[in-house]
């Protein structure tokens, strides 16, 4: 069997994307606009005849709801869905719950960009027991403390995401299935970096738009036949990428 097709989908706008707050592992819902983006993503899948046969999401409701809304719009609600904390957004440490514009104003553009996009510099760790920490959250109760992040840089996300890629997603692709991965800005940056073999400097400039499916066709070695894949709506993707880049600057 030829490998199946991989479709990546960042969740639609969340309430905290809308409010311009650093989110990370805080479990915020989609905004109304975000629910519309998710459904539009599903319509695009149907229009392109790209019907998922299995889906993978994080354990955060903005990705879970995006998968549900997109699959409903494509009339594929019946397919199996698997969830893992390994597809969660990057843990944003002490920045979780902070306003992006206020953070930019307080720390300056250089530090702000290092925190958002550098490959190997994590934000300061979150204070245990503070308002936006995930201490005591039942969904992470099975994780030993040493793998439960208090902050993460993108390099950390690559390390914790890849076991799920190899153990759960790759077998579905090897089985020839069309696989939907509904996840987050930075967990998808980590996956795209891996797929496209991007360097650490290159990935700094990579931004993933909300709600536009990104299609990857893969060769027998699971390498993309077209580097960067193909957005199903390139114009919407380009506009949404600009919006992500400029977050904080308004
Ligand atoms: C955003 C990404 O995550 O923010 O955690 O604030 O994709 O779940 O909305 P998402 C967050 P940036 O790294 O783009 O600032």
CATH number at residue 106: 3.40.50.1240
What does 79-133 look like in DSSP terms, one character per residue?
A: S-EEE-GGGSPPP-GGGTT-BHHHHHHHHHHHHHHHHHH-SS-PPPPPPTTSTT-
Q: What is the ipTM of this complex?
A: 0.94
Phi, psi of 214, deg, nearest 5: -115, 115
pLDDT digits (tens, 9 = 90+) for 118-157: 999 999 999 999 999 999 999 999 999 989 999 999 999 9
pLDDT exceeds cutoff 90 at 109: yes
* C-alpha span between 68 and 51 (Å, rounded): 13
Mean of pLDDT values over 213-239:
97
pLDDT digits (tens, 9 = 90+) for 172-200: 999 999 999 999 999 999 999 999 999 99
Pocket of ligand 1, candidates 11, 23, 33, 206: which has the most ligand atoms within 8 Å of its Cβ, to mutate? Answer: 23
Atom of ligand 1 nearest to the CA of 210: 7
Active site residue 89: yes
Domain count within the chain: 1
110 in a domain, yes or no?
Answer: yes
- Nearest Cα to Cα of residue 226 among 192, 199, 190: 192
250 in a domain, yes or no?
Answer: no
Structural domain for 23, as ranges: 6-245
Atom of ligand 1 nearest to the CA of 207: 14
CA distances to 14, 45, 171, 212, 238 from 232, rounded to whole Å, are: 21, 8, 24, 7, 11
* C-alpha span between 120 and 114 (Å, rounded): 9
53 in a domain, yes or no?
Answer: yes
CA distances to 38, 68, 126, 231 from 74, rounded to whole Å, are: 11, 10, 39, 17
1 in a domain, yes or no?
Answer: no
Structure tokens at 8: 């990546």
Q: Count the neighbouring beta carbons within 10 Å of the beta carbon of residue 212.
A: 25
14 lines ligand 1 (CB under 6 A): yes
Q: What is the chain's length?
A: 250
pLDDT exceeds cutoff 60 at 250: no
What does 121-177 look like in DSSP terms, one character per residue?
A: -PPPPPPTTSTT--TT-GGGTTS-GGGS-SS--HHHHHHHHHHHIIIIIHHHHHTT-
183 in a domain, yes or no?
Answer: yes
194 in a domain, yes or no?
Answer: yes
Active site residue 11: yes
* C-alpha span between 227 and 1 (Å, rounded): 22
């Amino acid at each position: 069997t030829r490998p199946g097709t991989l479709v990546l989908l960042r969740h639609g706008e969340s309430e905290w994307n809308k409010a311009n707050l650093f989110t990370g592992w805080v479990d915020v819902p989609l905004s109304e606009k975000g629910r519309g983006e998710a459904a539009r993503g599903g319509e695009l899948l149907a229009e392109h005849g790209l019907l998922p046969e299995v889906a993978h999401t994080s354990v955060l409701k903005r990705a879970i709801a995006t998968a549900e809304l997109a699959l409903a719009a494509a009339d594929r609600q019946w397919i199996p869905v698997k969830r893992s904390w390994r597809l969660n957004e990057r843990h944003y440490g002490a920045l979780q719950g902070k306003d992006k514009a206020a953070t930019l104003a307080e720390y300056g553009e250089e530090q702000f960009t290092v925190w958002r996009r550098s490959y190997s510099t994590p934000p300061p760790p979150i204070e245990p027991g503070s308002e936006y920490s995930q201490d005591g959250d039942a969904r992470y109760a099975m994780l030993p403390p040493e793998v439960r992040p208090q902050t993460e840089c993108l390099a950390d996300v690559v390390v914790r995401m890849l076991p799920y890629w190899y153990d759960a997603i790759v077998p579905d692709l090897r089985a020839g299935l069309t696989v939907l991965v509904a996840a987050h800005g930075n967990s998808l940056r980590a996956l795209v970096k891996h797929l496209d073999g991007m360097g650490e400097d290159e990935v700094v400039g990579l931004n993933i738009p909300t709600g536009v499916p990104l299609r990857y066709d893969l060769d027998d070695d699971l390498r993309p036949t077209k580097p960067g894949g193909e957005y199903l709506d390139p114009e919407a993707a380009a506009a949404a990428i600009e919006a992500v880049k400029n977050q904080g600057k308004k």
